[in-house]
Amino acid sequence: MPSLTEKWCQKKALLAYYLVHRSTINSLPSCNNIISKSLISSVNDVKDYLGISTDDFFNYAVEWSRQEEKLFTNKSNISSFYESWSGDYTKYNICANVLNQHYDTINFRIIDKYFAKSFDYSDTIIDFGCGTGTLSISFIIQELFKPNIIMLDVYNDVNKFVEFRINKHNIGTRSLFHEVTSFKKSHIASGLYCIDVLEHLENSSDIFINNIHPMLKINGLLYLKAPWRGQLTHIDEAANNFYLGGGRAFLLKKYRLVLRAGTSDIMCIFQKKSD
């Protein structure tokens, strides 16, 4: 049993950690104006695309949690779960994903500081596992991004909404959607963000080592966020595979830590050191 001195030292260490984390968060731009404009634009685009009201939008977003559980429970495998998002399921997911991408405001703040202001027109950034593409598209239509954006995700009907927004805002020369499993280009990206993706994948180490890592140029920036476990679709196999299957060791060997952005195990900016 820990002594009083040991307990006190543990509390001091924990307090120091949270103070450093708070200092880090406070050093990031607030982005309130960017986020507000993005939310309004995104919701309006969803309403336009689906032909629904504002009330419908929020009702569909709430409904997604129930429908997601049903789809996940009845899946034959992980891939079939994501490929099953069609029809009404697509409507529910689009609404929920748009809200979720705005709810986690730190992602906007990190992208603004480390990606929007760090790259030029000749650069390319990859949004790996983009969902509705809300984060990337928001920075493009507000003219806050100089680089080109490639948005990657599995094929399902949500992709059609991404294409709708690209066409509606006439940003096709600056942004591209591509199906993730068939995209095999190497050393193409100066920056890459993979947000809330790996925790859903049974083969998270393989995806990181053989899919994500090769896309990034040497010295390129990587924002990696993977909140392991805690939700229905955050599968135990994902975390276990990343730590026991070589992903974590590979990350520490090939990348330099630039910023720890949160208290989750992986919520960091890294810089690629080598192939």
pLDDT exceeds cutoff 50 at 214: yes
Q: What is the rounded average pLDDT of the residues 239-261?
A: 94
Q: What is the rounded average pLDDT of the residues 29-44?
A: 93
**Is the model more confident about 75 or about 271?**
271
Sign of CA dihedral 55, 57, 198, 106: negative
Q: What is the rounded average pLDDT of the residues 111-122?
A: 90
- The H-or-E segment that residue 82 falls in is helix 78-83
Give the least confident one: 131-140, 155-164, 255-264.
255-264
CB contact at 8 A, 215 and 189: yes
3-state secondary structure of 1: coil
Q: What pLDDT band is residue 29 in, cutting at 50, 70 and 90? A: confident
pLDDT at 19 (0 to 100)? 43
Residue ranges and CATH numbers for the domains of the chain are 4-101 (no CATH), 105-272 (3.40.50.150)
pLDDT exceeds cutoff 80 at 230: no
Phi, psi of 123 (to 5 degrees): -90, 160
Give the least confident one: 3-17, 56-70, 74-88, 123-137.
3-17
Q: What is the rounded average pLDDT of the residues 238-267?
A: 90
pLDDT exceeds cutoff 90 at 207: yes
CB contact at 8 A, 119 and 146: yes
pLDDT exceeds cutoff 60 at 13: no
pLDDT at 138 (0 to 100)? 96
Spatial distance between the Cα atoms of 267 and 248, rounded to a whole number of angstroms: 13
Spatial distance between the Cα atoms of 69 and 66, rounded to a whole number of angstroms: 5
Spatial distance between the Cα atoms of 270 and 7, rounded to a whole number of angstroms: 33
Q: CB-based burial of residue 188 (10 Å sphere; 0-12 exposed, 13-18 middle, 19+ buried)?
A: middle
CB contact at 8 A, 60 and 96: yes
Phi, psi of 244 (to 5 degrees): -95, -20
DSSP 199: G
DSSP 50: H
